[in-house]
Homo-oligomer: A and B are copies of this chain.
Amino acid sequence: MLDVVTFGEAMIRLTAPPGEALESAPHFSVHVGGAEANVAVTLARLGFRAGWVSKLVPDPLGRRVAGELRRHGVDVSAVVWASQGRTGLYFVEHAPPPRGMTISYDRAGSACSTTTPDDIDWAYVRGAQWVHLTGITPALSDPCARTVARMIAEARDAGRRVAFDVNHRRKLWTADRARATLEPLIEGVNLLIITQDDAREVFALNGEAPDLAAAIVRRWRTDAAVVTAGAAGAYLARGSDVHHEPAVAAGEIDRIGRGDAFAAGLLWGALEGDLLAGMRYGAALAALAQTYWGDVSWSTKEDVLAVLDGGRRRPAR
């Protein structure tokens, strides 16, 4: 039995070396990433049983996606291997301000976007303690949106818990469409995660991060809501209680996947029955994640605990 199952698209990520441009770089480095897959990888590396459900094409890029997840210990036995479709891609440029990082998706027509409820092994999903979903997958296609909805229903029916990370993608749909689709989905989930900006843009909520967290719990009756506010840390609301967790100071190599690492930390806490601990885990994992190239952290549970314990100021020699 799995601790957490996730469902979503993972893509091949092509990154220009830092300081180069997509227009100029002689080569692109190759990684694998996707919000839900990143969460599964982080959990698997921490020692949890994490499964990732998706649809892939059995060509070199599709096999690479599955292999990369498996390498970290994610269970990919429920992945559906499609006879059609392509592997989604995204292109990344890293640069300091004022240029900043750019992310361009090239994912239309991906195998994952054709996933329907019939593709899913529902027993597999129902067997996990937590189902973790994001607002990206429903934006990929109508069948994907229906699959997400069904997944939430199945999880509840099986007495499992649901985490949902809103992750609004402006390039995939408008805030209005996102809101219309996501509102029914997030109603009553056990753990809702959202950035401060998305809370305002997608759900037209007002106020500062702690208010937003409290408002979400009230409005959609979630057990808990976490609003992340970048360097200002994150806020966890449960009932009328709001807890603040400061961000862990960190240098930045590659910020992509930072939020997914945070979500994984929350789930770690949730699996231990301690969401406050999850807030700390999330803060440490998010900080560690941005010190690695690629979407995911290569850290271990010991590394995370060392960060929370004050970190290593000097390398032990």
Contact = CB atoms under 8 A, between A and B. Distances in A.
Interface of A: 14, 18-30, 59-61, 63-64, 67-68, 70-73, 86, 89, 91, 93, 95-106, 108-109, 169-171, 197, 248-254, 284, 287-288, 291-294, 298-300, 303, 307, 311-317
A309 B91 CA distance: 24
Contacts of A108: 86, 109
Contact of A26 (B29, B197, B292): B29
Question: Which of A102, A103, A252, A303 has the most chain B CB within a 10 Å cutoff?
Answer: A102
Given A197-B314, A316-B170, A22 B98 contact: no
This chain's copy number in the assembly: 6
Contacts of A316: 102-103, 170-171
Given A19-B292, A99-B250, 7 more contacts: A59-B104, A60-B91, A100-B311, A101-B315, A102-B315, A103-B315, A103-B316
A105 B28 contact: no
Contact of A291 (B63, B89, B99, B317): B99
Interface of A is mostly: loop
A269 to B, nearest CB: 19
Contact of A293 (B19, B70, B71): B19
A317 B98 contact: no
A168 to B, nearest CB: 8
